[in-house]
Amino acid sequence: MNAIAPQVSPTSASALPSADELDRALRDASPAEIVAAALKTVGREKLALVSSFGTESATLLKVMADVDPAIPVIFLDTGWLFEETLAYRDTLIATLGLKDVRSIKPAEETLAREDADRDLWFSDPDACCRIRKVEPLARALKPFSAWINGRKRFQGNARADIPVVEDDGVRLKFNPFANVSREELEAIFVRAKLPRHPLAASGFLSVGCMPCTSRTAEGEDERAGRWRGRAKTECGIHDDEDFVAQSRCHAANKKIRFR
């Protein structure tokens, strides 16, 4: 199905199609068609892809690079990442020819004020994610009208019913892999001969920050190793009202500065 969104001026946010309209048009589209539609809808300067450079990230980055390797990629360097993840980021940049990868770090003053002892991940993981992921991403996405992420329905929990396109409260959010299966992801890896995350062979099926990531046992859900033993299943950038609040705060501050 060739479902590509109509051309819209990237300078006029009010003229953008609604998320519902785009979702209806793209619900049966391929990942490459969805990325191309996002690019056509808002333009490269207003579109970003957010990647953790985790165990499955190479597939979405490959699809994006085939459409346009210069689409900005936002990578959240939380200060708690595995060295293997940082090395994998550099490997994929070189392998795929990515031209605009932006490594975003938490604000130093916030870390000094709220996590000076670096133990917030243990006492309050939600707060840790907020200062190391939610706030930095909201800041990084400030110039953009739409973003692309790699969530899949087969990952379950809050991801089981995600649409192809949604509204995050501030901007359009494209989920090109919403419909894909594990088998289809593996086919992309094999066909493109993509390098694997160095930790995947050691039983890390989903890799986030070091203190909150563990190996996954046979038969477990692939994200079972994230925040093991806690009710927490998401970092907050996809389902947390705090992300919307942070994004709106940054947007408001930008408007004030340029009046």
Query: Which residue matches tokens 């991801």?
Result: 159
Query: Which residue matches tokens 């009208």?
Result: 145
> Is 102 in a helix, a strand, or coil?
strand
**pLDDT digit string (tens) for 129-179?**
999 999 999 999 999 999 999 988 877 666 667 899 999 889 999 999 999
Task: Give the β-pairing of 146-148 and 47-50.
Answer: parallel
Cβ atoms of 172 and 20 closer than 8 Å: no
Query: Which residue matches tokens 């031209």?
Result: 99
Active site residues: 235
Q: Of 89, 44, 51, 87, which is closest to residue 67 (Cα–Cα)?
A: 44
Bridge partners (DSSP) of residue 139 are none
Res 12: pLDDT: 45
> What is the rounded distance in angstroms from the CA atom of residue 224 to the CA atom of residue 204?
10
Number of C-beta neighbours around residue 181 at 10 A? 12
Cβ atoms of 165 and 33 closer than 8 Å: no
Res 4: pLDDT: 43
Cβ atoms of 76 and 106 closer than 8 Å: no
Reported as a pLDDT band with limits 50, 70 and 90, residue 6 is very low
b/e code 222-253 from CB counts within 10 Å (16+ = b): bbbbbbeeeeebbbbbbebebbeebbeebeee
254 pLDDT above the threshold of 70: no
Mean pLDDT score, 28-51: 97
**pLDDT digit string (tens) for 228-240?**
767 666 666 766 5
Number of C-beta neighbours around residue 78 at 10 A? 22
Mean pLDDT score, 56-64: 97
Average pLDDT, the chain: 86
Cβ atoms of 55 and 26 closer than 8 Å: no
The separation between CA 198 and the C-alpha centre of its own chain, rounded to angstroms, equals 20
Bridge partners (DSSP) of residue 101 are 73
Res 222: pLDDT: 72
Full strand arrangement of the beta sheet holding 101-104: 101-104, 73-76, 47-50, 146-148, 172-174, 165-167
Bridge partners (DSSP) of residue 213 are 226
Reported as a pLDDT band with limits 50, 70 and 90, residue 68 is very high
3 pLDDT above the threshold of 80: no
Number of C-beta neighbours around residue 126 at 10 A? 16
Res 7: pLDDT: 42
DSSP strands (E only) in 143-210 = 146-148, 165-167, 172-174
Task: Write the DSSP symbol of residue 5.
Answer: P
**pLDDT digit string (tens) for 192-248?**
999 999 999 998 888 999 988 888 877 777 777 677 767 666 666 766 555 455 555
> What is the rounded distance in angstroms from the CA atom of residue 145 to the CA atom of residue 167?
11
